[in-house]
Amino acid sequence: MEKLLSSWSSTVKSLPESYVFPVDSRPGDTTVPFCNTLPVVDLARDRHDAVQQILRACQDYGLFQVINHGVDNGLLHDTMSVVQEFFDLPNEDKASVYSEDPSNKCRLYTSTYDYKNEKVHLWRDNLRHHCCPIDDFIYLWPQKPTRYRDVVGEYSLRVGNLSARILDLIREGLGLGPGFFGDELTGVHLFSANHYPPCPNPSLALGLPKHCDANLITFLLQDEIYGLQVYRNGEWLGVQPIHNAFVVILGHQAQVISNGNLISPEHRAITNSTSHRTSIVYSINPKPESIIEPAKVLINESNRALYRAFMFKEFLKSYEVKKDYNEGALEDFKI
């Protein structure tokens, strides 16, 4: 528990050396412009328009923001609040879920899953747990705050439903058949809450380093504090939070299934020196034994497969062994 940033970060005036990133990967003092062209998809609009807008966004950016998505604004507020309340609890009230064992299905930890062996620590604490089906995992979730399980349970159901809706729009845009993104490709749901305390020197540290997501698709809920940046055309661009919007980010598996038609973007989380920041990640993943390959309907004589078929668990093993969390993670799976 003493490793948690929330246990000691407010007492230090300078950044510990173990949190200082190498010169070529630290954010520095350069001002990063906001990405003013990042698509914002309004799901209240015509379905055909939404399909086309999402398809273009996934081809050009690999991410977009979505509004009027059907998840109640009050539920978004309650979920963000209960997560912030959890991180504000005394250590003794969080101890039951703290673990340094990456295999735990519900786990509070700091930095990454491999704290002992990593060269540089991340400036974040993280609460991560499985949530599908909810009844199989909810008994592992935090018992405090007392409303945590009710609120996050409802949130998980609603965002799970939204993920199915967005994936169906992506499916239609790609020309795939109904039900393509079934349980094999979407059966593992992870809830991951990031807590980024104020950092003594944000120019040297990172909350999350440059990476692509290993999953199928991510739904990110941000608080009002800016921190997400996307790497596009050789430069970093900021993603400005939109109140009650989700940032939807494609993972490597979506890139493979689309045969490279859609992209998994490189992104990172920066820190700041004045404010606590909280973000909530809802990650949709294939089942470990699922076969991932380019959709057969997309492959023909003029559009050959770029990737071989593989089990998702094979990809995850390679992802962790190689520790290449960017585009290079797909190299071993290219044809």
Encoded tokens for 206:
């990172």
Q: For residue 87, what pLDDT is reported?
A: 97
Q: For residue 323, what pLDDT is reported?
A: 67
Task: Quote the percentage of the chain above a pLDDT of 70.
Answer: 99
Strands 63-67 and 40-42, by their bridges, are parallel
Across-strand partners of 283? 190, 218
Other CB atoms closer than 10 Å to residue 86's CB: what's the count? Answer: 22
Other CB atoms closer than 10 Å to residue 77's CB: what's the count? Answer: 13
The predicted model scores a pTM of 0.96
Q: DSSP states of 58-104 as a string?
A: HHHTSEEEEES-SS-HHHHHHHHHHHHHHHHS-HHHHGGGB-S-TT-
Q: For residue 21, what pLDDT is reported?
A: 97
- Terminal Cα distance for the chain, rounded: 45
H-helix or E-strand spanning residue 275 = none
Q: What gap in Å lies between CA 288 and CA 327, rounded to an integer?
A: 21
DSSP state of 234: T
User: What are the boundaries of each domain within the chain?
Assistant: 30-333
SS3 248: strand
Nearest by Cα to 246 from 14, 55, 43 = 43
Other CB atoms closer than 10 Å to residue 297's CB: what's the count? Answer: 11
Encoded tokens for 209:
């380093």
One-letter amino acid for residue 46 of the chain: D
Q: For residue 324, what pLDDT is reported?
A: 65
Q: For residue 117, what pLDDT is reported?
A: 87
Q: For residue 319, what pLDDT is reported?
A: 84
Q: For residue 114, what pLDDT is reported?
A: 84
Q: What gap in Å lies between CA 37 and CA 202, rounded to an integer?
A: 26
Q: Which residues of the chain have pLDDT under 70?
A: 323-325
Torsions phi, psi of 50, nearest 5?
-65, -40
CATH number (2.60.120.330, 1.10.472.10, 1.20.990.10, 1.10.630.10) of 30-333 reads 2.60.120.330
